[in-house]
Structure 1
Amino acid sequence: MTTTVNGRPIDAVPRPGQVLRTFLREHGCFEVKKGCDAGDCGACTVLLDDVPVHSCITPAHRAEGAEVTTVAGLGSPEHPHPVQQAFVAAGGYQCGFCTAGMIVTAQALQPGDDLTQKLKGNLCRCTGYRAIEDAIHGASSIEHPAAGDAAGRSVAPPAAWRVVTGREEYTLDSFEPFRSTSALAHLAVLGAPHPHARIRTIDTRRAEAAPGVIAVLTHRDSPATLFSTGRHENRLDDPDDTLVFDPVIRFVGQRVAAVVAESAAAAELAARMIEVEYDLLPAVFDPELARRPGAPLLHDDKTPETSRIAAPERNTAAETRGERGDVSAALASADIVVSGEWRTGRIAHASLETHATRGWLDGDGRLVLRTSTQVPYLVRDEIARIFDLDRDRVRVFATRVGGGFGGKQELLTEDLVTLAVLRTGRAVQYEFTRQDEFRIAPGRHPMRLRVALGARRDGTLTAIDVDELSDTGAYGNHSAGVMFHSLHESLAVYRCENVRVHGQAVYTNNPPSGAFRGYGLGQVIFAIESAIDELAGRLGLDPFEIRRRNAVRPGDPLVTTDEDPGDVAFDGADGLRQCLDLVEAALAADAPAVREGGLGALMSMPPTAEEIASGEWRIGTGVALAMIATIPPRGHYAEATVRRVPGEDHDFEIEVGTAEFGNGSTTVHAQLAATALGTTPQRIRIRQSDTALPGARHDTGAYGSAGSVVAGKAVYTAALRLAEQLRAGGPDEATATHDGTPRTVAFNVQAVRVAVRPASGEVRVLRSVQAVDAGTVLNPAQLRGQVEGGVAQAFGSALYENVVLEQGVVVTDRFRQYHIPQFADLPRTEVLFAQTHSPLGPLGAKSMSEAPYNPVAPAIANAIRDALGVRPYALPLTRDVVWRLANGTDPAARPDVS
């Protein structure tokens, strides 16, 4: 076959059945991404004779005699295409994994095109689409400040031009080092078909004899060291309950064996040849049943002392109880008590780049892992522990990562690749499919929450009682951390003398749960803010007013129970009240205009006066607030080095451990250093997320938005030291560290106005407003994008998204079944900034990437309650759920006041 790709002739024969995406990547076009391989996400979009196509479902032979153009063929960083320029000017991306396909689609648009239709085949998990729409319409938000004036400006990310032209590398976007060493081998996994079983026998002989097979790995090859896939600074935060291969199966899809072969196809074929006999064990899928006496036990072979499991005999991975004051007495004497039971489902991270690792032995025999992770240093340390390696003999690094949201704070592919490399001596690659992401990658913890609030007639809270039951799934990664975190800021945001909490994270034979944006706060805040709103309605109080009366104020202790360590405190101005005021004022003003056919054009379409008068549509308004600690608990550390290294395109260099996955920390680091050194961000080169960097010996990782306030503080301090040294004629390098203390809090307030159609259950979000307390805003355009992206992800959790399980089997394992928000699904969120300054953060900044997600779902639920007069108790609020609410057939809708 002869085809032309970006003006370059290629003469090659595609394999039988090969699609254009893999054909292009095999010929070095790494800008063509894999997000789904099902034609759902658009990350692989290319032009085939000037027509945009999804190359993952386009047979390669259709390129015969045709012209193929990828995003790299549209322009280069030196000579970009106008659409590429527009995406940089508008900040139209975050992680950037969708950007190549998005730009190819956008450049084919015609004036007047309806974007709700034209962009329906291109998904973005990060941005919320507003910046993408602005790019398409030529709007610009990027500034070009003078030297020393970068902080507080909307500067472009350092990788901007590489991202929009397809030159920025993600995890698997390279042939190196395999062209100069051994050929790359591929790993495929055989997953278990049962939710609970014991492997009786496993016969690998046919697989081992299959063409191209290098090795077959089973539990007989596995290290005996127990570990957790969840990664924290203190590895003792999570129970050690996992093996690389375990002869006991605890969820459908768990690893049974792996095949290493010369090609991915050969590995997958051989994996299906492995013959396994199982002894089936009873399974339990409901955490309420799993903790009862007589339930099947998942980890009774382990002890609390060795694995830090709270109670294996009750399937309880983690548990907490605490009380301040006397909650029972306070509830008994309260003028009014509101109580209820709320439920949240399992949510998938849906990062467009799937989990992947490539590993090899370098020339010195050192293990090298190139992997899609938020925590390369923590992965290195745990790999060294599992395989009994000297930590200095393991190098882990991340290139740009295509989305994270907490899902890449796990060790999911690195251990298998390590085992395969050490066993074979070959370079090995293991890449999740999109189905793997839904079936076996940890998602957000489903929770059942019972909440009781006691109050006086004036609305003053007198008691808060919360009972949380969390489904941690088959393994306990992040079970304790999510449980403890979820029961802190969600309650401590309200002043109340009597608070009681009980939390349990329970094992089931469902797929594991893990870290997810908000880290448990979103689930509990949904229940708390729903109950607060119900209390306001029963007392005839304005929802804003009841929150003002009860919310914490500067100087208040931010604790829940007497057992709370109290290591979080206010740092100055009352940003929460500013946020409440900003949102309330915005709702009272006219809504911003929406472009015809643009973002919000379908979602924000208001019903007519006649439709409202007839009852066909009902209007409701809802508000919710959230508080979050600006730094993760129990330790977060970073080291950074800044040095003067004059070069053609830079004057200074930063070495820092934080990974970039759309969180924007790299941009902020460049801004902070440029401000301290009196230069521009363009004159600073950043080397990052590589455990081999001599100037960044440790970094806990990019989670909890710590990239700005922990690693950022280290970068800024090092840059200030270097500036002082240079003025004094001293050394041209400076290093600084930050230990993540003290911790403070940030606030978010979200309001929505919705229209609900009882006859169909349709919900339209007419207004979406969020005000945030982020301290000094270091990059307004970037922060606005983080807020919009968090709100968009939360709209998905509230209205659409739910990983559906049937007897432990995930049945929503594709994007076309699992509805993440598309361009047409979202309103245009108004983002407002409180004017505060935190003396603890760099130049007064607080973290904010994680927080915007948390108050959105309860705001939507409160608005639906306002519209229908019936309280929702479970997420997601899909059309069928809202229809049942509106028509009185939802068994969860019941009176809950005494």
Structure 2
Amino acid sequence: RPVKLELTREEQFIATSTRHPMRITVKAGADKDGKLTALQLDVLSNTGAYGNHASPVLLHACAESIGVYSCPNKKVDAVAAYTNTVPSGAFRGYGLPQALLAVEAAIDELAKALGISPYEFRRRNIIKPGDPMLSPPGSGYTDVLYGSYGLDQCLDQVERAMQAETPKTELSADWLIGDGIALTMIDTVPPDGHIADARISLHEDGGFELTVGTAEFGNGTSTVHRQIAAAALATTVDRIHLKQSDTAHGGHDTGAYGSTGTFVAGRATQAAAENLANDLRIFASTITKTDPETCALENDAVVCGKQRVSFARLAEMARAQGQALAASGTSTGTPRSVAFNVQGFRIAVNKGTGEIRILKSVHAADAGRVANPMQCRGQIEGGVAQSLGATLYEEMVIDEDGRVVNPKFRDYHLPSFADIPRTEVFFADTVDSLGPMGAKSMSESPYNPVAAALGNALADATGIRFTAVPFKPDRLWPLLHEKFGS
């Protein structure tokens, strides 16, 4: 019989996995021209009582946080330690937000020491198409390719937006103003670590039934999959009926995680739709007695020369002949492309209380050809909002025995809508050669640079480098009081 598991709020805190807490030390060097000469990471990760995702999270965090920079000398020492705390596991960003907080802080400090703007310093050192991406021995990262490249555009877009005039906010002399940015790249799941199947068939009414194994989590994949199929079949989205995450009808899908909904399941959908489109051309050519090469799909029909056969007519004739017009597609997620994201903040910090107000939030993303700009913009805004929760408010307090002290929302502060600023979102103008219809993944990546960018803005405003999130007033106040007094 079906079983439903319902956890209490306290059980949600202790029986589900958390993000990996990390202690990170970064060493970075550059020459007088502002070119990086060395990057070194020393990482200690708390994997909790069980080694859930310990190694792959470390690999992802270390490889991609410094892999986005071109540097001749890189070294990583990383260890995951068992402790008596709640087990750590897979969480949005998969280790990158923790590593970026440290790496992007070091990049900013180095730029400041050299007297170079944070934007220009990054421009001189980010990877470019053709540059090797970090591939530690045995990592399997050899299948990560530049499907498209828009990181330079993202930097330019954020810089222009941050330089644009901001509506004036009346603030007293107690408030300090600072700007900060951070950038990141991210790929999808490990090589051949994900399999997605899709199947699509022609209905009697000339519409289509698309079956995919992946699930919709509010990220818009159900719409995007229909858009991909509709584009390949020269029809409209309303003509695509979607069945998803139904084990009785769909093929296999490893799961809706690892930024695979569009990039992997979308590729399977595109393959299935293109296979069916080819079958429709061939079937129409037999009816019209023409060369399949002369047939093309157009406005819910196949046009062969001067003859036009509607999809509904094709379905009717196929049924009469005992034929089913259906096709399948599969994707393993290999090879993989990388998405790029840049976040910028302007903040005000009250030196007397430690309160932070976000005056401006800007995010630019290289998402390839964006299938649904409104949904993708919402995905990015949601990623920034969720990350701000971890950056400014959320803190799981653990006692000496490894117990969670605050497993209630009255003690664990989640941001409300009023706490979240408006984020300006920009897209780089790229078309990815590996993704479905030129699209890239954009599920986890918006989350990743947020804490690092806000940390850099905090340092710019106060002249103090705060090294641990969340940046709560009670954590900031002692150092602010020491520097600025009461």
TM-score scaled to structure 1, two decimals? 0.48
Do 2:147 and 2:338's aligned partners in 1 also have CA atoms closer than 8 Å?
no
Do 1:568 and 1:745's aligned partners in 2 also have CA atoms closer than 8 Å?
no
Alpha-carbon distance in 2 for matches of 1:568, 1:751: 30
The yes-or-no answer on 1:827 pairing with 2:421 is yes
Number of the residue aligned with 1:522:
97
Number of the residue aligned with 1:863:
457
* SS of equivalent residue, structure 2 residue 263: helix
Identity of aligned residues (%): 53
| Structure 1 counterpart of 2:239, from 683, 694, 716 | 683
Alpha-carbon distance in 2 for matches of 1:634, 1:454: 36
Number of the residue aligned with 2:201:
643
Amino acid at match of 2:154: C
The yes-or-no answer on 1:785 pairing with 2:378 is yes
- Offset at residue 458 of structure 1 (A): 2.1
- Offset at residue 560 of structure 1 (A): 4.8
Number of the residue aligned with 2:180:
622
The yes-or-no answer on 1:672 pairing with 2:265 is no
Alpha-carbon distance in 1 for matches of 2:431, 2:4: 46
Alpha-carbon distance in 1 for matches of 2:146, 2:74: 24
Q: Deviations over 1:357-408 (max 9, x none)?
A: xxx1xxxxxxxxxxxxxxxxxxxxxxxxxxxxxxxxxxxxxxxxxxxxxxxx
Amino acid at match of 2:265: A
Do 1:663 and 1:705's aligned partners in 2 also have CA atoms closer than 8 Å?
no
Number of the residue aligned with 1:188:
none
Do 2:147 and 2:435's aligned partners in 1 also have CA atoms closer than 8 Å?
no
| Structure 2 counterpart of 1:804, from 397, 414, 417 | 397
| Structure 2 counterpart of 1:718, from 272, 284, 301 | 272
Amino acid at match of 1:830: E
Do 2:192 and 2:334's aligned partners in 1 also have CA atoms closer than 8 Å?
no
Amino acid at match of 1:766: L
Number of the residue aligned with 1:843:
437
Deviates more, 1:833-842 or 1:661-670: 661-670
* SS of equivalent residue, structure 2 residue 154: helix
Q: Which has the larger radius of gyration?
A: 1
* SS of equivalent residue, structure 1 residue 505: strand
Distance 1:842 1:645, change over 3 A: same
* SS of equivalent residue, structure 2 residue 5: strand
Alpha-carbon distance in 1 for matches of 2:455, 2:7: 35
Do 1:801 and 1:820's aligned partners in 2 also have CA atoms closer than 8 Å?
yes
Distance 1:607 1:538, change over 3 A: farther
| Structure 2 counterpart of 1:709, from 263, 283, 287 | 263
Amino acid at match of 2:451: A
Do 1:499 and 1:561's aligned partners in 2 also have CA atoms closer than 8 Å?
no
* SS of equivalent residue, structure 1 residue 765: strand
Number of the residue aligned with 2:170:
607
Number of the residue aligned with 2:155:
580
The yes-or-no answer on 1:756 pairing with 2:349 is yes
Number of the residue aligned with 1:300:
none
- Offset at residue 883 of structure 1 (A): 1.4
Distance 1:632 1:563, change over 3 A: closer
Alpha-carbon distance in 2 for matches of 1:666, 1:567: 31
Amino acid at match of 1:782: Q
* SS of equivalent residue, structure 2 residue 183: strand
Number of the residue aligned with 2:310:
none
Distance 1:842 1:490, change over 3 A: same
Alpha-carbon distance in 2 for matches of 1:692, 1:498: 52
Do 1:630 and 1:848's aligned partners in 2 also have CA atoms closer than 8 Å?
no
* SS of equivalent residue, structure 1 residue 472: strand
Amino acid at match of 2:351: P
Number of the residue aligned with 1:881:
475
Alpha-carbon distance in 2 for matches of 1:750, 1:455: 23
Deviates more, 1:716-725 or 1:578-587: 716-725
Alpha-carbon distance in 2 for matches of 1:513, 1:569: 26
- Offset at residue 836 of structure 1 (A): 0.6
Distance 1:573 1:708, change over 3 A: closer
Q: Deviations over 1:808-832 (max 9, x none)?
A: 1112212222112101111100000
- Offset at residue 573 of structure 1 (A): 4.5
Amino acid at match of 1:617: W
Alpha-carbon distance in 1 for matches of 2:192, 2:349: 43
Unaligned runs of at least 5 residues, structure 1: 1-359, 361-426, 594-604, 891-898
Do 1:760 and 1:879's aligned partners in 2 also have CA atoms closer than 8 Å?
yes
Alpha-carbon distance in 2 for matches of 1:885, 1:666: 48
- Offset at residue 889 of structure 1 (A): 7.8
Superposition map of 1:559-570 within 5 A: 559-562=134-137, 564-570=139-145
Alpha-carbon distance in 2 for matches of 1:566, 1:853: 22
Alpha-carbon distance in 1 for matches of 2:138, 2:122: 25
- Offset at residue 538 of structure 1 (A): 1.3
- Offset at residue 543 of structure 1 (A): 0.3
- Offset at residue 565 of structure 1 (A): 3.8
Q: Deviations over 1:262-309 (max 9, x none)?
A: xxxxxxxxxxxxxxxxxxxxxxxxxxxxxxxxxxxxxxxxxxxxxxxx
- Offset at residue 735 of structure 1 (A): 0.5
Do 2:192 and 2:333's aligned partners in 1 also have CA atoms closer than 8 Å?
no
- Offset at residue 863 of structure 1 (A): 0.4
Distance 1:431 1:889, change over 3 A: farther
Alpha-carbon distance in 1 for matches of 2:143, 2:178: 35
Superposition map of 1:3-42 within 5 A: none
The yes-or-no answer on 1:498 pairing with 2:64 is no
Do 2:387 and 2:450's aligned partners in 1 also have CA atoms closer than 8 Å?
yes
The yes-or-no answer on 1:434 pairing with 2:13 is no
Alpha-carbon distance in 2 for matches of 1:824, 1:550: 37
Alpha-carbon distance in 2 for matches of 1:639, 1:677: 18
The yes-or-no answer on 1:727 pairing with 2:281 is yes
Do 1:557 and 1:566's aligned partners in 2 also have CA atoms closer than 8 Å?
no
Amino acid at match of 1:878: K
Number of the residue aligned with 1:509:
84
Superposition map of 1:188-337 within 5 A: none
Amino acid at match of 2:200: V
Unaligned runs of at least 5 residues, structure 2: 284-317, 319-323
Distance 1:572 1:651, change over 3 A: closer
Count of residue pairs the alignment pairs up: 444
Do 1:630 and 1:846's aligned partners in 2 also have CA atoms closer than 8 Å?
no
Amino acid at match of 2:473: R
Do 1:631 and 1:744's aligned partners in 2 also have CA atoms closer than 8 Å?
no
- Offset at residue 562 of structure 1 (A): 5.0
Superposition map of 1:63-462 within 5 A: 360=1, 428-462=3-37
The yes-or-no answer on 1:654 pairing with 2:210 is yes
* SS of equivalent residue, structure 1 residue 567: helix
TM-score scaled to structure 2, two decimals? 0.88
Distance 1:568 1:550, change over 3 A: farther
Alpha-carbon distance in 1 for matches of 2:137, 2:53: 23
Distance 1:573 1:737, change over 3 A: closer
Alpha-carbon distance in 2 for matches of 1:839, 1:537: 37
- Offset at residue 430 of structure 1 (A): 2.1
Do 1:606 and 1:755's aligned partners in 2 also have CA atoms closer than 8 Å?
no
Structure possessing the higher relative contact order (Cα contacts under 8 Å, 6 or more residues apart): 2
Amino acid at match of 2:282: A
Q: Deviations over 1:834-879 (max 9, x none)?
A: 0011110111100001100000101101001001011111111001
Amino acid at match of 1:606: T
* SS of equivalent residue, structure 1 residue 809: coil
Alpha-carbon distance in 2 for matches of 1:633, 1:469: 25
* SS of equivalent residue, structure 1 residue 717: helix
The yes-or-no answer on 1:482 pairing with 2:40 is no
- Offset at residue 566 of structure 1 (A): 3.7
* SS of equivalent residue, structure 2 residue 371: coil
The yes-or-no answer on 1:742 pairing with 2:335 is yes
Amino acid at match of 2:407: D
| Structure 2 counterpart of 1:469, from 41, 44, 62 | 44
Do 1:555 and 1:570's aligned partners in 2 also have CA atoms closer than 8 Å?
no
Do 1:567 and 1:743's aligned partners in 2 also have CA atoms closer than 8 Å?
no
* SS of equivalent residue, structure 2 residue 33: coil
Alpha-carbon distance in 1 for matches of 2:388, 2:4: 35
Do 2:135 and 2:142's aligned partners in 1 also have CA atoms closer than 8 Å?
no
Alpha-carbon distance in 2 for matches of 1:879, 1:824: 18
